[in-house]
Amino acid sequence: MTTLATVTLIYHLASRLAYVIGVGWAMHRQDRSGYFTRRYGGGEAGFRAFRRRASLIMNNDGLSFIALCVVSMGTLSLGIPAAWRVAVGAVLILIGVLTKLWARATLGADAYYWRNFFTDSPAPAVVRSGPYRFLANPMYTVGYLQTYGLAFVTGSLPGLIAAGFDQSAILGFHRLVERPHFERYRASIRRPDRSGAPPPRVPRLDPGR
């Protein structure tokens, strides 16, 4: 692996850690103390401020992964013809991208940047359609196949390693940041209502990307 590929790999791994740790910590502060809501004078203003920061970090993460695959092209040897490797990668990209877009369209744009952390009523609605008929968390499972696919198409061993690291990191992010928030929400809406009104239905939530 060249020096450029090594530097790019380190940069990407740092970018992924900035995503899951930096964005995760910001969401944790908002969830626990309403940090952005208090600082920016309301849920919507706080959400917009958070989204600006999160977008920069997340877009940098994605671009650094693409750069890694490009600069380390041709380092993956699978013992199969290049045409087969590219074909497999293209299929993985197609399945992953379509699944992610399908999940996003099913949940709506409000779920994409975790708006439900900033508003009183959670943005995601009850979802029993789209990919949620088959998977509880399509964005972080099948929706990550495109990262492996790009590594296959470019023949990038560091890209394949980074894809596995990225998916493991985002699943940890889901477990430590998103799931506790959703579990607290589910517990709160199961509490008995003194008015006698029936409790709202519990939504299925999968907000990230």
User: Who's near 64: CB < 8 A, 6+ residues apart?
Assistant: 8, 11, 12, 15
Domain map (residue ranges) of the chain: 3-189
| 46, 30 contact by CB (below 8 A) | yes
pTM of the model: 0.83
User: Could you tell me the pLDDT band of residue 209, with boundaries at 50, 70 and 90?
Assistant: low
**Can you give the pLDDT at residue 199?**
47
How open is the CA angle 209-72-208, to the nearest 5 degrees?
5
**Can you give the pLDDT at residue 58?**
95
